[in-house]
Amino acid sequence: MPEEPATQDTEHVGRRVLRLRTERGLTQRKVAEPAYTPAYISTLEAGRVRPSEAALRHIAERLGVTYEELSTGQPAHLATDLRLRLTEAQRALATGAASEAAGLYAELAARAERHGLDAERAAAELGRGECALETGELAEARGHFDAADALLVAAGAPLTQRVPVIRARAVAHYLSGALRYACYLLESALDELNTSGLHDPDALVLLYTASIAPYMDMGAHARAAQSAELALALAPRVGDPALVAQMHRSVARTLLAEGKVAEADASLAKAAELYQHLQIRTELAHCHWMRGYVHAQAGRLADAETELRTARDMLSAKRATLYTQQVEVELADVLRQLGRPEEAARLLRSLLGALSPDRGAVHAAGAHRLLGLIAQESGAVEDAEEHYVNALSLLERAGAAGDLADLCRLLGDLYRRTGRIEAALDTYRTGLGHRAAPGTTTLGPAPARPPL
C-alpha cells in the first residue's frame, strides 16, 4: 500500500525518528533493514511521507522505544507516572506539607502541558489551587480552579469528573465572601447530576457537604438541614473514608443549629477518628475547630478554648493562613465570654489587617462585631458603632443573612440607647427583612433531590 502524503504530524514523527536515531548513533540502513530501505527512512525523516502503523512499529523496535512514544512523542507510561506523582502531591498536601505539594503540582502541571495530557494537567491545577487555598491566596486559587475546569470542559469530561473542581471553585468564592455565587455553583451541579440521572454518591456528598457552610452563613438553615440529611443518607454508599469524614464534619454544623449538641459532637468525633487514621492534618484541624464551636454554643467555654487553640496551632503549623485567622476570630469570642476582653481585642486587632472584603469577609465582619461588643461593654459607644457599621457593610456585600440579622439587632439597640430612635427603627427593619423567610430570601428553587 502506498504511503499517504505528508502532514504536520508526519513532520513531527520524522523529526522524532531523526533525533532518536542520531542519539543512538544508528545509520539509516541499520534502522531500515530488513523490511525497508535507507531511502525510505531518509524520506520519512524529511517529513515527506506518512508512515504506516507497521512501518512505525518496525522503526520503534529498531530504535528501542515503544510504538506509542514514537507516534505521539510521549515517553512510555508517562500518564501513569504523572498520576502516581499526583498521588504523592495529594498525600503531601493532606499531611501538612503544602509548600512541598505546591512545588510538585507545578512541576506536574508543566509536564502534563508539554505532552498534551489535559486530564492530568487539570488534576495538577486543582492541586495547585488547593495549596493556594491553604495559604489564603484566594485569587490565585480561583485562577487555578478555573484553569482546571476549563481543561476538563474542553476535553468533554463528564460532570461527575468535574465535581471536585466545581466544589473547589465554590469554596474559594465562599471564602472570598461571594456566598450566593458559591451556592449557585453547587446547586447548578447538584441539579444537573440529579435530573440527568448521574447519581454518583461521592460527587453528591462532596457537593452537599460543601453547601452547608454558605447556606448557614446566608441564614438558609432549611437548605443546610436538607443538605445534611441527604449527605447522611448517601454516606453508606461512599467508598472514600476521607469524604465520609468531611461529610461528618460539615453535618455537625447543621445538627448544632437544630440544637442537637450531642449528635453534633458524636459526628465530629467520628470525623476526627477517620482523619487521625488517614493523617489528614488540615481536616483534623477543622474537626477540632468545629468541636470548639460546639462547646462554645453549649456554654463549655474552657473546653471550647482548648479545642480552638488546638485547631489554630495545627493550621498555623501547616501555614494555612486564612483558616488560622478564621479560627482566631472564634477563639477571640470565647476569650471575651471568659472575661478576658483585652486579650480578645488584641487578637482581633492583629487579624483585621489580614482579613478583607475579598479575603474572609464573613470572619472580618465577625472581628468587627466582637470589637464592637468589647467597646460597648467598656462604654466606648462611638468605637462600638464604628465597628458595627463596618461589620454591616462586609456582611451586606457577602449576603450573610443570618449574621446580618443579629448585627442589625446589636446596632439598633445601640442607636436606641443613645436616643436615635428613627435610626434604630430603620436598622431593625433591615434586620427583619433578612429574617423574613430563612432559606428563601436569597436563593432560587432548591435543586432536584437524588432518588434515595
Per-residue pLDDT at 212 = 85
Question: What count of residues does the chain have?
Answer: 452
3-state secondary structure of 29: helix
Interatomic CA distance for residues 42 and 28, integer angstroms: 7
Which residues on adjacent β-strands are paired with residue 356?
A: 359
For 220-234, 309-323, 424-438, which range has the lowest pLDDT when averaged over its residues?
424-438
Cβ-based neighbour number of residue 261 at 10 Å: 17
Rounded to two decimals, what is the model's pTM? 0.69
% residues pLDDT > 90 (the chain): 34
Q: Write the Ramachandran bin of 439: left for phi over 0, alpha for psi from -120 to 50, otherwise beta.
A: left
**Beta carbons within 8 Å of 257's beta carbon, 6+ residues apart:** 216, 221, 224, 225
Cα–Cα nearest to 294, from 309, 280, 308, 313 = 308
Lowest-confidence range among 94-98, 103-107, 123-127, 375-379?
94-98
| Residue 177 · residue 141 · CB < 8 Å | no
Place of cell 474542553: 154
Is the four-CA dihedral 250, 255, 261, 262 of positive or negative sign? negative
- Which of 64-73, 118-127, 314-323 is the most confident on average? 118-127
Distances (CA, A) of 133 to 98, 170, 189: 10, 12, 21
Q: Summarize the confidence of residues 366-376 as an average pLDDT.
A: 93
pLDDT tens-digit profile of 184-198?
Answer: 999 999 999 988 887
Rounded CA-CA distance 381/384 in Å is 5
Yes or no: say if 307 and 285 are a contact pair by the CB < 8 Å rule. no
Which one is predicted more confidently, 248 or 104? 104
Partners of residue 359 on adjacent β-strands: 356
pLDDT for the residue 388: 93
C-alpha cell at 107: 512541576
> Kindly report the CA angle at 293 between 240 and 325, in degrees rounded to 5?
85
Helices (runs of H) and strands (runs of E) counted in the chain: 23, 0
Backbone angles phi, psi at 359, to 5 degrees: -150, 85
